Amino acid sequence: MEKEYILEMKHISKVFPGVKALDDVKLQVRPGTVHSLMGENGAGKSTLMKCLFGIYSIDEGEIILDGRKVLFSSPAEALENYVSMVHQELNQVPEQNVMENLWLGRYPMKGGLIDNKKMYEDTMKIFRDLDIDVDPRAKVGSLSVSQKQMIEIGKAVSYNAKIIVMDEPTSSLTEKEVEHLFRIIHKLIEKKSSVIYISHKMEEILRISDDVTVMRDGKWISTRPASELTIDEIIKMMVGREMTERYPQKETKPGEVLMEVRDLSSASKDFSGVNFELHKGEILGVAGLVGSKRTELLETIFGLRAKGSGQILVEGKEIHNKSPREAMKNGFAMLTEERRKDGIFAGLSVSFNMAIDNLDCYTRHGLLNDKLMKADVDKMIQEFKIKTPSGSQKIGNLSGGNQQKVILGRWLLTRPTILLLDEPTRGIDVGAKYEIYQLINQLVAEGKGIIIVSSEMPELLGICDRILVMSNGHQTGIFDAKDVTQEQIMQASAKCV
C-alpha cells in the first residue's frame, strides 16, 4: 500500500537571534505531486526548506521522509537521502564549465583521473531527458540566468531525488522558458518524484500545483487542494487581509524631460540605435525576451558597460557615465537583477549593506558618525517595513524580499534623480510588491525618473506610464501603457531585427 505522504514535517520551530522564524509549522507532501508553498517574504518558506535540506537545524519538531524519521546535518546528507533543492539564489562556480558544476564533488573517475567522456555523456543524458539545450562544455559564467537555472534543475535530477524543492524557479524565466520548466516538472511527477514549489506567481501556482500550503509570519495557515483555491483567497491567507488591487493608483503625471538617450549603443555592440526620453515623474518600463539586451542597456547607462556611440543627456546637458561612481555623482542609482551575486554582502549587517554607498555623508574629519548613520538606517527600516530585529542583523538572515528592500533603501540614501531598476520585484511576494510599487509611486511624485526592466508583463502594464520594447539588441517600439496590450508587446518582443 502506497504511503499517504512521502514527506511530513511536524511541529517545526526555528529561532534566530531576536526572531522566531518558524513557529509550530507543518507540511505534508503526497507522493508524485506538486505541493506549492506560499507566503509573503519573511513568512518562513525558505527557512522551512533549509531545515529540511540540512542547512539549518530545527529547534523543535520532527521530519518523516518515506516513513522514517530523519534529521539531516548537511545538504550532502540530504542529497544522499534523495532530497534535492534548487535555490532561488544560484550558487555556481562561474569559471568552471556546465558539467563540472553539475557533478561538482562527485566527478566520475577512471584510473585516478576525472573521466571527462563519461561526465559529458551523463550530462547529455540528463539534458536530453529534460530537453535542456545547453552545451555541457560551456563556461557557466557565460550563460544567461535562465540557462543557469536549468543547470541547477538538471543537477537536482542527477541525484535521483524523490523530493525536489524549487525556490522561485521561474523568477528569471520568460513565458516560453516557464512552459519548458512545467514540462520538466510533469516528467518528474511521472517518475513519481514530488516537487515542493515556492513561488509568488499566483497564476503559476494554481496551474501547476496539486496542493497549496500557505504560511504567514512563520506559522502554518492552511493546506488545501489547488483546485479549490482562487487568487483572491490565496492573497487573503498570505497577507491576513483582503487586497482589492494588485497595483496602486499613480496620482501624478510625467512632467518635463529629465533624461534623453540618443542613438545609444554599447561598445561591445550588444545593442544599438536606442532612442528615448525619460520625463520627471515618469515610470518607463523596458520589455523584451531573454537575450533582448534590456539589462545591458541599463548597465551601459549606469557605466557598468562601456558606451559605444550615442549620447545621454540629463536636463539638457550631456553626461558621460564612465563608471558607476561617476553615474552616482550624476544622480543615477541602479538596482541589479541578481541581488545575491551583485547586491549584498551576505555576512555583514543590514546597517552596513544599507549605508555602504553613502558613507561620505556620514563621515566628518575622517571619522564615521554612527549616530547619524543609525538614524537613517532605522528610518529606512521603518518606512520600508523591513522585517529585521535591528540594523545589526546579518542581511543574509533576511528573506529575499527584505534583502531587496535594504538595497532599495541603500540607493535612496544617495538621493538619486534617476533610478534604474532591473527586475525589482523578482522573487518578492504580493504584499511586499505592493509596498515597493507604492514606494516607486512616491519617488516619481517627488519628480524622479524611473526605468524598470521586468519580465512580468502585468507588472509593466500595471505600474508604467510607457513601455519601451527591445528585441535582439534593437528597440522595436515605445507604447503608452494605457493603450497597449500584452499581445502587442509580445509581437514587438519577437520581431526579427
Question: DSSP secondary structure string, 304-373?
Answer: SS-B-S-EEEETTEE----SHHHHHHTTEEEE-S-IIIII--TTSBHHHHHHGGGGGGGEETTEE-HHHH
User: What is the structure's pLDDT at 152?
Assistant: 87
Q: Which of 403, 447, 448, 451 is nearest to 428 (CA)?
A: 403
Sheet holding 83-86, edge to edge: 83-86, 163-167, 194-198, 34-38, 211-216, 219-225
Query: Which amino acid belongs to residue 351?
Result: S
Nine-digit cell string for 84 = 534535492
pLDDT at 355: 82
At a CB cut-off of 8 Å and minimum separation 6, what does 219 contact? 23, 24, 25, 44
Neighbour-count burial of 45, counting CB atoms closer than 10 A to its CB (0-12 exposed, 13-18 middle, 19+ buried): buried
* pLDDT for the residue 67: 92
Q: Using alpha carbons, select from 384, 406, 433, 34 the residue that is nearest to residue 201.
A: 433
> Residue 162 gets which letter from DSSP?
S
The one-letter amino acid at 465: D
Residue carrying C-alpha cell 536606442: 274
The reply to whether 257-493 shares the fold of 7-239 is yes
Distance separating alpha carbons of residues 38 and 34, to the nearest angstrom = 13
Q: Given this model, what pLDDT does residue 242 score? A: 59
Pick the CATH number of 7-239 from 3.90.1010.10, 3.20.10.10, 3.40.50.720, 3.40.50.300: 3.40.50.300
The ranges assigned to domains in the chain are 7-239, 257-493
Cα distance between residue 291 and residue 107, in whole Å: 32
Which residues of the chain fall short of a pLDDT of 70? 1-2, 18, 41, 88-90, 171-172, 241-244, 338-343, 427, 429, 496-497
Pairing of strands 219-225, 211-216: antiparallel
**With respect to CATH, is domain 257-493 assigned 3.40.50.300?**
yes
Eight-state DSSP code of residue 281 = T
Predicted pLDDT of residue 343: 67
> What are the beta bridge partners of residue 113?
110
User: Strand 332-335 and strand 418-422: pairing?
Assistant: parallel
Give the tens place of pLDDT for each residue, 44-60. Answer: 898 999 999 999 999 99
Please report the pLDDT score of residue 172 as a whole number. Answer: 66
User: What is the C-alpha to C-alpha distance for residues 326 and 322, in angstroms, rounded to an integer?
Assistant: 6
Answer positive or negative: Cα dihedral of 352, 355, 359, 361. negative
- pLDDT, residue 241, reads 60
Question: Residue 420 in contact with residue 331, Cβ under 8 Å?
Answer: no
